[in-house]
Amino acid sequence: MALTGRWALALAGTAALMTGTALAQVPPPSPVELPAGEHVTFDVNEGTSMALSLSPDGRRMVIDLQGSLWILPVGGGRARRITDYFNDARLPVWSPDGTTIAFSGYRDGTWDLYTIKPDGSDLRHVTQGAADDREPAWSPDSRSLAFSSDRNGSTYTIWTVDLASGTLRQVSPGLGEDRMPSWSADGTEIAYSSQRATSSLKAVASTGEGEERVLREGAVRYDAPVWGPDGQLAYVAYDPAGSRLEVDGVPVSGSENVFPFRPVWRGEALFYTSDGLIRRRQGSRMRTVPFTARLEVVRPQYQRAARDWDSTAPQQALGILKPTLSPDGQSIAFVALGDLYTVPVTGGRPTNLTTDHAMDADPAWSPDGKWIAWSSDHGGGLPQLWLRNVASGETRRLTNLTTQPLGAAWSPDGKRIAFIDVDGRWGVAGLQVVDVATGAVTRLSASLPQPGEPSWSADGQHVAISLSRTLSRSFREGTNQVVVFRADGTGEPVWHEPQPGTGIDTRGGGGPAWSPDGTRMAAIYEGLLKVWWVGPDGTPQSVPRALNDEISHYPTWSGDGRTILYQNAEKLKLIDVETGAIRDVPLDLSYTLARPAGRTIIRTGALVDSVTDATQANKDIVIEGNRIVAIRDRDPSQDAGATVIDASTLTAIPGLIEHHSHAQKDFGAAGHRAWLAYGITTVRDPGNQVYSGIEDREAQMAGVRIGPRIYANGPLLEWQRVFYKMGVAVANPPHLERELDRARRLRFDVLKSYVRMPDLQQRRIVEAAHAMGVPVTGHEIFPAALNGVDATEHTGATSRRGYSPKQGPQGRSYQDVIQLFGRSGRTMTPTMFGSLGPYLQKHPEYRSDPRAKLYPQWAQATVTGDDPMAALIGPLMAGSMQLVKDAHDAGALIAAGTDTLIATNLHSEIATYVDAGLTPFQALQTVTVNAAKSLNLDAGTLEPGKLADIVLLDGDPRSDIANTFKVRQVMVNGVLYTGEQLLTEDSDD
């Protein structure tokens, strides 16, 4: 059934309510409009990561299946949904008096406690605020709830709330991460799981008084303790051998894969969930409680945008990186189209200062305006800091580090430059200072979790950066706050929260920027440019005030502190800080698509077109410009006027598509050449700093950067809390609208709804993206599959719940997940992090492959040694492999991606698919035709009319998928490169 109008998702049985003293009434949900498309409903009999609770009379149970609560008879049967799709309702518990069900819900962007009647009426909000409140448990008298919360700001602790008065009480001491509480039968104690130096189960008086007592402690992880009728303690234990139900130290669940949620005692029987099923166990007897639940998805239908790979008309450059105002306020330095530029503040055509294939980034003016410092791999190697004299053009290299310096910032006296030195995955970096005269480097910090760029105090005594301040060790997300370091490396860094309860939007260009006179800081909050007063050491003296009402990015000050330059989507703007007057800086910068001319013939020994599961022998691929015009039998008589490439001993396949990688500037131009050298001709970047991916895309299209085509996103759209530097913490719905407007104006190729984005706001992202003609992706599966989200990244990965709704323990997935992938036909990018180790064990010679030398040292070590990420994910591999096979067979579109920057991983990724049960040809399709379909790209197969993206291999991947690693030559957009060229390409050319 095609959906073209409104389709109401009503909360079953919701009635008009009165607001109680402590519980806020939740109004009935408004009708929602689903995206246009095919509506598909289906039944499932298994659930992944579902919890249960029983009614006190033993007649009914409630389960949480894919974020909704469902009621069914205790003996099994059809489940009836009692909440709508957008609560992300989890971990339900039935009150002892039988009248109410409590649960954790994520409707508004934080985890709160809710209650609802078993018939779906009387939905009420119990706790609210900025904290996450999770995992409710009823007191025996049904008057209070115990729960876990990060409301103390540093750890998860156990709290109680009195439902009549709303009184809150912390009951566990807050020495570690305390989760999953449950009450003793007499209500005097609360048991919980505690993750400190070791994992343990503990108990404390429900009043919070007295000392904790240890119930169980050991080398395994303990979760979800529940006291039985005779004082027995049931809980879930987890170690590499599996997840099991134990009672007083004795495993009782056999080989079952037990979900890590509270079991329920009913007399001597235990009810719990395992293997995607509901179980009832008494002694050695176990039976399964059957259930059926109806789920629904939408296969979205909208007009997809297509990139133009043939037009030579000029296109406006949108990827303007780090536009920086000169101290005299008269000039702007920036990076675009692969080069460093300057332009007067009056606008016009910029002056190109660097004309080469190098990767340039992060320009910074010296205080006297005579020099520009920037990061570049000018001259080869990996990026370092360089200096350029603005008047003479003289350049010199300032640093020679094994790490990659970015984010240069000059001290007020011009004698030092602060920077971050990237030395790990996803922008992990330390804070350092280099002496401009001598090149001596002083480290101010050890490696930090993806810091922002440094900014100096006026007296040169302090350096400020932004970091994410997490609220607990249980969950990695936090808020971006200002951290001030002493510039001499002494003392402890000091944290500041200028706008209480809110963070800077993004560490990737959101500030803070210290004013030259040291009295103010500027940063981006809620998408807006804001300024606040500070003391000499950066201590806030006022709350931030907004200077504008439009999406903003990357503020820099003039030397007199009167003017701030900022980015407003595709525009540069100057604002007078005192008067608020704003004027545009018109930028005349465009590029044309680099397209080769002439006719080329690749004379192959073998060819796999990724359409038919066959290896064709002795074929000629005829190319005009950048497109394949014919594939024919070998015919030297047709060679006149053509450039002939002898590949008679090689196998041609379509260019490989890396469907999930986040390009980083610290990898330099060599990182892009490495992709080509490994046969990757297209990269989908689903999350980056706001302008970085766009600059990558345009530099490649213009022929300035040698590398693959880039399909780029901006930042991960996160909600209020954020982890990655490439994420943006959306503060509220108006801020989300500003972000969506910027995405449209910068023409992002994909949008990513990230971990903490509420499902209702995710719907708005889908609506905006599909109006742009681009897909939406994320980690979620449901209600994403109903909202019209096009794709899901990772078989598991980060979840706001603390466990994955796609995978249970051991990485195993069940019928609900498999059918949600298959029935929606959505794109799935598995990212098998654990694939590299086994792949290199099978092919140890690949560890010494010379192409790895194109990467930074830490990245090389993941190939030449053991990748710690792979070791971490390794225990989940078997379950993830099974999900890939099951989802593929059910109808999902598998598109290979790795979430890494090291191209060896793409080859190990698809080899793992073969280990999972796909044929080598099917695995090859995941990295060619399937990924091209996801991108709406005219590539991915070797057929007339397709773009000339071709890889020439030494071996047939249909006989051994590992032969995709043996790349000898690669063509992208009709331009051919040999492996030797890509290894030795001079970035000055």
Measure the CA–CA gap between 163 and 121, rounded to whole angstroms.
Answer: 18
CB distance 953 to 344 below 8 Å = no
- Name the residue with tokens 């929260």: 497
Measure the CA–CA gap between 107 and 163, rounded to whole angstroms.
Answer: 20
Question: What's residue 6's pLDDT?
Answer: 27
Question: What's residue 18's pLDDT?
Answer: 28
Q: Where are the beta strands (DSSP E) in 144-232?
A: 144-149, 157-162, 168-170, 177-183, 189-195, 199-205, 213-218, 221-227
pLDDT at 750 over 80: yes
Reported as a pLDDT band with limits 50, 70 and 90, residue 10 is: very low
Measure the CA–CA gap between 604 and 144, rounded to whole angstroms.
Answer: 74
Element (H, E) at 69: strand 68-73
Measure the CA–CA gap between 297 and 281, rounded to whole angstroms.
Answer: 34
Instruction: Provide DSSP, 744-781.
Output: HHHT-S-EEE-TT--HHHHHHHHHHHHHHT--EEES--
Q: Give the CA angle between residues 756, 757, 761 to the nearest 5°.
A: 160
* Coil vs helix vs strand at 853: helix
What average pLDDT does the segment 240-269 reach? 95
**DSSP-assigned beta bridge partners for residue 646:** 603
Question: What's residue 641's pLDDT?
Answer: 93
Task: Tell me the two tokens of residue 340.
Answer: 């460093």
Backbone angles phi, psi at 869, to 5 degrees: -65, -40
Question: What's residue 19's pLDDT?
Answer: 31
Reported as a pLDDT band with limits 50, 70 and 90, residue 9 is: very low
> What is the separation, in whole angstroms, between the first and last Cα of the chain?
57
Task: Name the residue among 163, 71, 142 with its Cα closest to residue 100.
Answer: 142
Question: What's residue 33's pLDDT?
Answer: 73
CB atoms near residue 554 (< 10 Å): 26
Amino acid code (one letter) for 36: A
- Looking at per-residue confidence, does 26 or 427 come out higher? 427
Q: What is the DSSP letter of 119?
A: T
pLDDT at 869 over 70: no
- Looking at per-residue confidence, does 240 or 17 come out higher? 240
pLDDT at 867 over 80: no
Burial class (CB in 10 A: 0-12, 13-18, 19+), 240: exposed
CB distance 332 to 325 below 8 Å = yes
Question: What's residue 175's pLDDT?
Answer: 84
pLDDT at 811 over 60: yes
Q: How far is CA 982 from the centre of its chain?
A: 30
Length of the chain: 989
pLDDT at 1 over 50: no
Reported as a pLDDT band with limits 50, 70 and 90, residue 988 is: low
Task: Name the residue among 571, 546, 479, 556 with its Cα closest to residue 511.
Answer: 556
CB distance 253 to 239 below 8 Å = no
- Name the residue with tokens 């780029």: 712
Task: Tell me the two tokens of residue 467.
Answer: 């970091």
What average pLDDT does the segment 810-819 reach? 96
Question: What's residue 870's pLDDT?
Answer: 67
CB atoms near residue 733 (< 10 Å): 12
* Coil vs helix vs strand at 966: coil
Task: Tell me the two tokens of residue 321.
Answer: 């990186």
- Name the residue with tokens 């078989």: 795
Task: Tell me the two tokens of residue 756.
Answer: 């903490």
pLDDT at 849 over 90: yes
Q: What percent of the chain is modeled with pLDDT above 90?
A: 90
Element (H, E) at 386: strand 384-389
Reported as a pLDDT band with limits 50, 70 and 90, residue 755 is: very high
pLDDT at 817 over 60: yes
pLDDT at 866 over 90: no
Question: What's residue 4's pLDDT?
Answer: 30
Write down the mean pLDDT value for the chain: 94
Reported as a pLDDT band with limits 50, 70 and 90, residue 14 is: very low
